[in-house]
Amino acid sequence: MKKVLLFLSACLCTYLSSFSQSTLSGTVKGNDGTLLTGATVAIEKSYLGTVTDLNGHFSFQRLKNKTYQLKISYLGFKTQVESVELNGDKHLDIVLRAQDVITDEVVVSATRASAKDPFSFSEVDKEAIRQQNTGKDMPYVLNLTPSLVTTSDAGTGVGSTTFRVRGSDLSRINVTINGVPLNESESQEVWWVDLPDFASSVDNIQIQRGVGTSTNGAGAFGATLNFKTSSLNKDAYAELNSTAGSFNTFKNTINVGTGLMHDRFTLDARLSQITSDGYMKNSGTDLKSFALIGGYYGKKTIVKASIFSGQEKTHLAWDGVPGDKLASDRRYNGLGLYEDQNGQE
């Protein structure tokens, strides 16, 4: 008898539970009254989700009676979360508010290679740059990329540095910032000492090894480097970074930004100083730089203005003085006036 009662109780619970399930349905419209087809409707903290049909309608069947958080999203409209207490079948009329969609800046395809292009290239993203950015010049930030060899006159990666890609020096490596050539017009080289802490203003880098997509002529025979500066930061921020290393090497950087003001304007700024005694004698450096990036983000237009500047003081560590020269004439070397450690000419 007891087993029969238990069986009947289980059947009754199953029967009653079928009445505790409800249907949640509704329509999704824009604030101009347009029915939105393909809007995403999801129940948070669950695997349940659907999209609206041609009439902007959605439906969830056989839901338990309780409170749900309904998340509705659609491209071009602000995502909305609705709290719904379900204790029976319910129909909702949901209205989404339109908003402008701000995306990342578009990189001109003429200067960047894609997976379909027959070129050898590497991408360095913002996180990889951040991990390598300890105050050293850009050649040492890129030191771990394939086929790239770096040199540093001071021995610390700060000051006068350079690199080669597949054996080609910087006179055969085309460097662009946001598509604008950086190479010096006479020597075709790039002097990284003029851009201290430039890595702190870079969002990503593409390195093309060998002849690539550059439109800037023979300067791209050995390789092409494309730098893209900082992307849109919607929120205001302020950041202070300090790094210390061997041979009294210090880097101090201040980054500030306004975020997106009035859904249209941004302003980002950076101020940096790098100092080092250098590994070799007479190889000290004192580098200062700043960056200022302003942007206008319209519905169909993005306009940006970027200013970078640097000031450098470096010792003459890259030209040694042979012993026979010192024995016959201690006053001059190949670079000019020579002084010993006591300041004697």
Tokens of 146: 């394939």
Residues 333 and 171: their CA atoms lie apart, in Å, by 27
Residue 302, pLDDT score? 85
The mean pLDDT of 45-62, rounded to a whole number, is 89
pLDDT at 18 > cutoff 50: no
DSSP string, 72-139: EEETTEEEEEEEEE-SS-EEEEEEEPB-----PPPPPGGG---TTSS-EEEEE-HHHHHHH-SS--HH
Please, what's the b/e burial string for 112-129 (b: 16 or more CB within 10 A of its CB; e: otherwise)? bbeeeeeebbbebebebb
Alpha helices in the chain (DSSP H): 2-17, 126-132, 138-141, 323-328
pLDDT in tens, 301-312: 888 888 888 888
Tokens of 49: 């989700």
Using pLDDT thresholds of 50, 70 and 90, give the confidence band for residue 16.
Answer: very low
- Where is pLDDT greater, at 20 or 239? 239
Residue 32, pLDDT score? 87
Write down the residue that tokens 């609705």 correspond to. 82
Residue 17, pLDDT score? 47
| Local structure of residue 173 (DSSP, 8 states) | E
Using pLDDT thresholds of 50, 70 and 90, give the confidence band for residue 160.
Answer: confident
pLDDT in tens, 99-124: 765 555 555 445 676 667 677 888 88
pLDDT in tens, 199-257: 888 888 888 887 766 665 555 677 888 888 888 888 899 999 888 888 888 999 999 99
Using pLDDT thresholds of 50, 70 and 90, give the confidence band for residue 12.
Answer: very low
The mean pLDDT of 56-72, rounded to a whole number, is 90
pLDDT at 19 > cutoff 60: no
Give me the long-range contacts of 327-333 (CB less than 8 A, separation at least 24): none
pLDDT at 151 > cutoff 50: yes
pLDDT in tens, 70-79: 999 998 888 9
Residues 43 and 252: their CA atoms lie apart, in Å, by 47
pTM for this prediction: 0.58
